[in-house]
Amino acid sequence: MAKLKIIPIPPLAFGQLRSQIDLDLSQMQDRVNAITNWVSEFDILDQSYAFQHRTAVYSSHQVRVITVSSTPTVMKVNDPDCTVAIPLYGGFETWVRAEHFETGGAGCAMYYPPGKRHTEGGLKSVLLVSVGFERLMATAKVMLGADVLNKLDVHTPRVLKANHGTVDLLKVIRQSCHLIDQFQDNLALLKNFSPDESIVRAVVMMLAPKHFFSGNVLSELPPRNRILNYLCDYVSGNLDQTFNLTKLELVSGISARVLQLEFKKRYATTPLQWVREQRLSKAHQLLSHPAISTTVSEVAATCGFDNFGDFAKRYAAAYGELPSQTLKKALSKF
């Protein structure tokens, strides 16, 4: 019996030191099924190699990021989520509903809609981003507007382009993976950077590039203005999050010094003061047009105020009355 070849497998995108390597196919299959939503079957593609398979996973709010490195394998999967597969080393072939795709070039990824697929690949390292349909559509609606279903095709499997001019969306996802690696031991701290939100936004842009990179009024703006528009949209859509200059730098890719200059030029204020103004404006809107069950504490939390006294003080200074008074007047009209 010929001796099996033992070769080093490529590194993972994150979690290399924390990951566990599987040398047994059945153990690997059990592990993968345990960390995913998949119903899957695996087999060895090249029997001349000693089987090796290494995985690491990060999961948050219907987003699952799996980094995989392995010797040649065959994989049959029934996946309930929307998944993007990014080749980091090597390539792979995929069959989805009798359609055949090959992925392996730089700057590309493969999109899989929910359902069954068959994938084969040699020695490889792959990053898999799986997003629940509800989470994907919620983020896409913020980015693309109410008619998102007419702009975002989530049903067609296809090879995605990730490079659009100077924008490299795969680099955005890799940067988020670096954050996961840095803060994996402190998930509470990692939450402040919201890597799952950055990843989902990059996926939406890859799925609907024409709405972000061509034929769009924003594309005619100077690059720094486009970035500032994106940052402001991101903050407005995530006011429940914690924002500091470091977080704003991370989201925008612009240094704190430049952000200070750009916000002063456009809004005549600082970035953090602008964020506070958006929080107060959102709170005023929610309190002025409440549901019957609306409470001041819920509104404060929704708008990112974790200190109720500070919220009431700032709100009164901005609107001349306490938030409870605004709510009481609005509820009296029911």
User: Residue ranges of the domains in the chain?
Assistant: 20-220, 222-334
Per CATH, 20-220 and 222-334 having the same topology is answered no
pLDDT tier at 214 (50, 70, 90 boundaries)? low
Q: So what's the pLDDT on residue 2?
A: 60
Structure tokens at 94: 């995929």
Q: So what's the pLDDT on residue 217?
A: 42
Q: Is residue 185 predicted with pLDDT exceeding 80?
A: no
pLDDT tier at 315 (50, 70, 90 boundaries)? very high
pLDDT tier at 208 (50, 70, 90 boundaries)? very high
Q: Is residue 99 predicted with pLDDT exceeding 80?
A: yes
Element (H, E) at 39: strand 39-44
Q: Is residue 218 predicted with pLDDT exceeding 60?
A: no
Q: So what's the pLDDT on residue 216?
A: 46
Q: So what's the pLDDT on residue 109?
A: 92
166 vs 299, residue with greater confidence: 299
List pLDDT tens digits, range 126-139.
Answer: 999 999 999 999 99
Instruction: Return the DSSP state at 52.
Output: -
229 vs 104, residue with greater confidence: 229
List pLDDT tens digits, range 2-36.
Answer: 677 788 888 999 998 888 889 998 888 888 888 88
Measured CA to CA, the distance from residue 244 to residue 252 in angstroms comes to 12
Where residue 83 falls (left for φ over 0; alpha for ψ -120 to 50; beta otherwise) is: beta
98 vs 279, residue with greater confidence: 279
User: CB of 237 within 8 A of CB of 194?
Assistant: no
CA geometry: angle at 137 spanning 136 and 138, to 5°?
95
pLDDT tier at 202 (50, 70, 90 boundaries)? very high
At the topology level of CATH, where does 222-334 sit? Arc Repressor Mutant, subunit A (1.10.10)
Mean pLDDT, to the nearest integer, of 255-277? 91
Architecture in CATH for domain 20-220: Sandwich (2.60)
Q: So what's the pLDDT on residue 175?
A: 87
Q: Is residue 199 predicted with pLDDT exceeding 90?
A: yes
Q: Is residue 213 predicted with pLDDT exceeding 70?
A: yes
Q: So what's the pLDDT on residue 105?
A: 63
Q: Taking the C-alpha atoms of 9, 183, 226 and 281 in order, what is their torsion angle to the nearest 10 degrees?
A: 150
User: CB of 276 within 8 A of CB of 239?
Assistant: no
Measured CA to CA, the distance from residue 68 to residue 19 in angstroms comes to 10
Task: Return mean pLDDT, the chain.
Answer: 87
Q: So what's the pLDDT on residue 247?
A: 85
Q: So what's the pLDDT on residue 252?
A: 80
List pLDDT tens digits, range 41-87.
Answer: 899 988 888 999 999 999 988 999 999 999 999 999 999 999 999 99
Q: So what's the pLDDT on residue 241?
A: 86
Query: Model pTM greater than 0.85?
Result: no
Measured CA to CA, the distance from residue 100 to residue 199 in angstroms comes to 26
pLDDT tier at 106 (50, 70, 90 boundaries)? low
